[in-house]
Amino acid sequence: MEWIDSKNLPPNLLNAQNIKAYIEQHGRKPSGASKDKQEKKLGIALSQIRKNLIKVYNELETEEERQNFRIQHPETDEVIKIITEIDENSLPPVLLNARRIKQWMEQRKTTKPPTANSKDDEEANLGRALKRIRASLIKPYIRFKNRRKRKI
């Protein structure tokens, strides 16, 4: 009976549960841009849940509108609970990459960061991640900090 019930779940709830299971297995949120079909499917589903269920629900102004929405989408409360739990327990990819880079350097007892040009796949991946961190966080922060100094 439980198996039948699990197959009759609304798609949003089933997707939310699958996304949660994916995160528990892989330690990160699925990406809608992934080359892996399953991960891509779950990443797109996560975006769709946020856009078509959670955002719409949160934009409703009255409690009556919310009740009507919950009648049409009885899975709303449980889906919101799952997605909120995911968001509260997920670390940003930049932080995860920074931790991986630090761990890699500590394991090798080196102060030299990984390079994207390395022949070692792990080092090359971490080197590319470091490059993205520098481009998206560090350089903009330094520019911002320098602009503030000029104004003072």
List pLDDT tens digits, range 18-75: 999 999 898 888 999 999 999 999 999 999 999 999 999 999 999 999 999 999 999 9
Helix (H) or strand (E) holding 121: helix 121-133
Report the predicted TM-score, pTM, of the whole model to 2 decimal places: 0.60
- Report the share of the chain in percent with pLDDT over 70: 95
Tell which residue, 96, 92, 106, 100, has the closest CA to residue 124. 100
Structural domain boundaries of the chain? Answer: 2-89, 93-151
- What pLDDT band is residue 4 in, cutting at 50, 70 and 90? very low
Tell which residue, 20, 21, 12, has the closest CA to residue 88. 20
- DSSP-assigned states of every residue in 81-100: HHHHHHHHHPPPHHHHHHHH
Answer yes or no: is pLDDT of 141 > 70.
Answer: yes
